[in-house]
Amino acid sequence: MSEPIYVIGHQQPDTDTICSALAYARLKREQGADVVPARTGALNPETQFVVDRWGVEIPVLLDDAAGEQVILVDHNEYSQTVTGAENAEIVEIIDHHRIGDIETSEPILFRNEPVGSTATILTQLFDDANETIPTQTAGLLLSGILSDTVVLRSPTTTERDRAAATRLADIVDVDYEAYGKELLTQKSKVGEKSPREMVLSDFKEFDFDGQQVGIGQIETVEPSVVLDQQDAVLETMDDVATERDYAVFLLLVTDLLEEDSTALVAGPEVEPVEKGLDTTFTDREAFLPGVMSRKKQVVPLLEDAFGANSA
Amino acid sequence: MSEPIYVIGHQQPDTDTICSALAYARLKREQGADVVPARTGALNPETQFVVDRWGVEIPVLLDDAAGEQVILVDHNEYSQTVTGAENAEIVEIIDHHRIGDIETSEPILFRNEPVGSTATILTQLFDDANETIPTQTAGLLLSGILSDTVVLRSPTTTERDRAAATRLADIVDVDYEAYGKELLTQKSKVGEKSPREMVLSDFKEFDFDGQQVGIGQIETVEPSVVLDQQDAVLETMDDVATERDYAVFLLLVTDLLEEDSTALVAGPEVEPVEKGLDTTFTDREAFLPGVMSRKKQVVPLLEDAFGANSA
């Protein structure tokens, strides 16, 4: 009796991370491997909606990966992965982010591609393996693509994401624009959350040249719901930055309709953020026209700015 | 007028590294990109033979990559790459080794697969792109596969390497066993070299938990040519270990016909090597039955042993 391999996405799981874990486990099982989809934490409302919509069981909660074999999807950095990953055997990685700090002793499959979602790469992997994509899986993959690319509107969107979305929408027979709007509505349900839930629900931690930086993002069609309670939000950000000893905690409140972001900031190292993003914070707030993607329009700039700062 | 992108393999280039750089540059040029094949140093006799055999120009020598855009093939570690890579923009990586320490700020294509040669992955990339493999390129890719897998005999060899070699041999219309033996003969031309050229001609440097470890390999059908001058070889290894401040310098003298290796050792940290390889050195020599692959049968064991040592 051997242990299964877990496919797991990043902390604070989002729709692309959960759908990619489910889809890749499905593909690997079709190929005869004992692979189980897993998650690091609770689902957000959008992802819960997706899982219900396509009638799949939610992945198992994996508290600690120490001693396990794991496949990482939708991330490749220790600061974003499951607890215990340092003592797990990482056997594969499928991702679409910057190349992070994970090293292995053996050669493994690591497929990182600069496309809009991990689900886009998984669609390709089904094709590469000559496996038919089951309807349920097609629904999940479509959801991952539409969620991560803001219905193909984010600047991270590529032709391959468009082609995959069109094809998956055909398989499941839905209008992807209409279905995408349903997803956005779910994603925008921020009003019911506490400030702490809001700022941490889509949150990533980075190690920039030895400094810990937290970057949260709230994607919504109603930014005013967040910005109207700005004092409470900033107070929560201060608490989190202090608790976790962050150099800086940046929160992007992204307006999905106007396609821009308002940034809020906490922590001592505001200057490299201003330099990196070429902006000035007034009362800890800055407007970032055209910024929709944390990954593409914020992370590289901050990494460079923090690197230059310490050099 | 824009600068070209350089495709470059590891230091102490071998046949897979050079052929992969040539083949990938060809594919990218077919696709309209301004990409130039490059190398970090002189060709070994086997690779020179291959380049002559298929009538291609040798890649340009790139002394310093600082400020350039580079695609890395056949390696993904700073300790093995071109000088100045820390200050270059790494735009893609195609490899078949363990995952190393390279990080990027932007998402890039990083395709690492656990197969016997980078040339095997490149064969796949031509197929993925629906590009016909030109005869010359097929000859180079076949050479990369046969060289890195010791004519499909190394334990790193996979079904995909076999399938690719068979298909490429069809394209160029050669008997791959016969051609492979020609390559082995070239690879074995160690007798004409100085001890220093011998121990450094196929050499890789690793950072294991902060300790610098050099691992050289001489693959030959006549190990006696090396072992008969063991004193001179060990003296050279001592010099190199001292010059470069290595914790250990391990040299594998691999018998391509018997499919085993004799290891020689220099530097202070012999104990973790003995632990890792489960062997004992007598007069700085140990016999390693069945060991042919540095990558698969030596590097992971030493990495673990040096990690446990420092923990």
Final residue belonging to a domain, choices B132, B155, B186: B186
Which domain does B120 fall in, by range? 5-186
The CB density around residue B119, as the number of other CB atoms within 10 Å, is: 34
For B81, residues 6+ apart whose C-beta sits below 8 A from its C-beta are B8, B10, B11, B40, B65, B72, B75, B102
**DSSP-based three-state secondary structure for B92:** strand
**Same structural domain for residues A157 and A39?**
yes
Query: Strands across the sheet with B60-61, in order?
Result: A60-61, A35-39, A5-8, A69-73, A89-95, A109-112, B109-112, B89-95, B69-73, B5-8, B35-39, B60-61
Mean pLDDT of B149-162: 95
The percentage of residues in chain B with a pLDDT greater than 70, rounded to a whole number, is 98
**Same structural domain for residues A218 and A298?**
yes
Task: Give the model confidence (pLDDT) of B184-193 as tens digits.
Answer: 888 777 657 7
pLDDT at A1 over 90: no
Closest CA to A96 of A72, A117, A80, A78: A117
The percentage of residues in chain B with a pLDDT greater than 90, rounded to a whole number, is 84
Distance CA A292, CA A253 (A): 9
Query: Strands across the sheet with B211-220, in order?
Result: B203-208, B211-220, B248-255, B260-266, B285-288
Q: Closest Cα of chain A to B98: distance in Å? A: 4
Whether the Cβ atoms of residue B276 and residue B305 lie closer than 8 Å to each other: yes
For B143, residues 6+ apart whose C-beta sits below 8 A from its C-beta are B15, B19, B50, B53, B54, B119, B179, B183
Q: Which residues of A touch B102 (CB under 8 A)?
A: 99
Residue type, B182: E
Query: Which phi and psi angles does A181 have, rounded to 5°?
Result: -65, -35
Task: Give the model confidence (pLDDT) of A264-294 as tens digits.
Answer: 999 999 999 999 999 999 999 999 999 999 9
Residue A33's pLDDT is what?
Answer: 96
Residue B184's pLDDT is what?
Answer: 87
CATH of the domain at B261: 3.10.310.20
* B296 interface with A at CB cutoff 8 Å: yes
**Same structural domain for residues B75 and B215?**
no
Final residue belonging to a domain, choices A132, A164, A186: A186
pLDDT at B225 over 60: yes
Q: How confident is the model at residue B6 (pLDDT cuts 50, 70, 90)?
A: very high
**Same structural domain for residues A270 and A163?**
no
User: Which residue of A72, A75, A99, A296 to mutate against B (max B Cβ within 10 Å)?
Assistant: A99
Whether the Cβ atoms of residue A158 and residue A184 lie closer than 8 Å to each other: no
Task: Give the model confidence (pLDDT) of A203-260 as tens digits.
Answer: 999 999 899 999 999 988 888 889 989 999 999 999 999 999 999 999 999 998 788 9
User: Which residue of A77, A105, A121 to mutate against B (max B Cβ within 10 Å)?
Assistant: A105
Which 75-104 residues of chain B touch chain A by CB within 8 A? 93, 96-104
Checking DSSP bridges between strand B109-112 and strand B89-95, what pairing results, if any?
parallel
Tokens of B112: 């690492």
Total of domains in chain B: 2
| Residue whose token pair is 């922590």 | A267
**Same structural domain for residues B81 and B125?**
yes
Tokens of A93: 């990685």
Residue A191's pLDDT is what?
Answer: 58
For residue A112, give the chain B residue with the closest CA: B110
Phi-psi region of A90 (alpha: psi -120 to 50; beta: other; left: phi over 0): beta
Whether the Cβ atoms of residue B124 and residue B161 lie closer than 8 Å to each other: no
Q: Which residues of B touch A86 (CB under 8 A)?
A: none
Q: Which residues of B touch A304 (CB under 8 A)?
A: 105
**A-B contacts (CB, under 8 Å):** 78
A97 to B105: CB separation less than 8 angstroms, yes or no:
no
**Same structural domain for residues B199 and B179?**
no
Q: How confident is the model at residue A309 (pLDDT cuts 50, 70, 90)?
A: low
Residue A190's pLDDT is what?
Answer: 63
Taking only Cα atoms into account, the Rg of chain B, rounded to an integer number of angstroms, comes to 19
Taking 3-state DSSP, the helix, strand and coil percentages for chain A, each rounded to the nearest 5, stand at 40, 20, 35
Q: How confident is the model at residue A48 (pLDDT cuts 50, 70, 90)?
A: very high
* A114 interface with B at CB cutoff 8 Å: yes
CA angle A32, B299, B103 (to 5 degrees): 80
DSSP H helices in A13-158: 15-30, 45-53, 118-128, 135-148
**Same structural domain for residues B113 and B239?**
no
**Same structural domain for residues B179 and B38?**
yes
CATH of the domain at B24: 3.90.1640.10
DSSP H helices in A157-298: 159-172, 176-187, 195-200, 223-227, 230-244, 270-277, 294-297
Residue B189's pLDDT is what?
Answer: 72
Q: How buried is residue A252: exposed, middle or buried, by Cβ count under 10 Å (0-12/13-18/19+)?
A: buried
Residue type, B252: L
B109 to A114: CB separation less than 8 angstroms, yes or no:
yes
**Same structural domain for residues B18 and B133?**
yes
Q: Closest Cα of chain B to A4: distance in Å? A: 20
Average pLDDT, chain A: 94
Distance CA B17, CA A307 (A): 31
Whether the Cβ atoms of residue B280 and residue B286 lie closer than 8 Å to each other: yes
**Same structural domain for residues A137 and A255?**
no
* B295 interface with A at CB cutoff 8 Å: yes
Whether the Cβ atoms of residue B61 and residue B39 lie closer than 8 Å to each other: yes
Closest partner residue to B101 (CB to CB) among A97, A103, A105 is A103
Final residue belonging to a domain, choices B161, B186, B211: B186
- What is the H or E stretch that residue B223 is in? helix B223-227
**DSSP-based three-state secondary structure for B6:** strand
CA angle A128, A133, A139 (to 5 degrees): 130
Closest CA to A80 of A243, A266, A241, A213: A213
Q: Closest Cα of chain A to B13: distance in Å? A: 19
**DSSP-based three-state secondary structure for B142:** helix
A103 to B107: CB separation less than 8 angstroms, yes or no:
no
**Same structural domain for residues B252 and B109?**
no
Q: Closest Cα of chain A to B129: distance in Å? A: 12
**Same structural domain for residues A202 and A163?**
no
Q: Which residues of B touch A111 (CB under 8 A)?
A: 110-113
| Residue whose token pair is 């006549």 | B222
Q: Closest Cα of chain A to B124: distance in Å? A: 10
Q: How confident is the model at residue A197 (pLDDT cuts 50, 70, 90)?
A: confident
Query: Which phi and psi angles does A126 have, rounded to 5°?
Result: -60, -45
**DSSP-based three-state secondary structure for B123:** helix
Task: Give the model confidence (pLDDT) of A17-38 as tens digits.
Answer: 999 999 999 999 999 999 999 9
Please tell me the number of Cα atoms within 13 Å of B39 on its side-chain side.
21
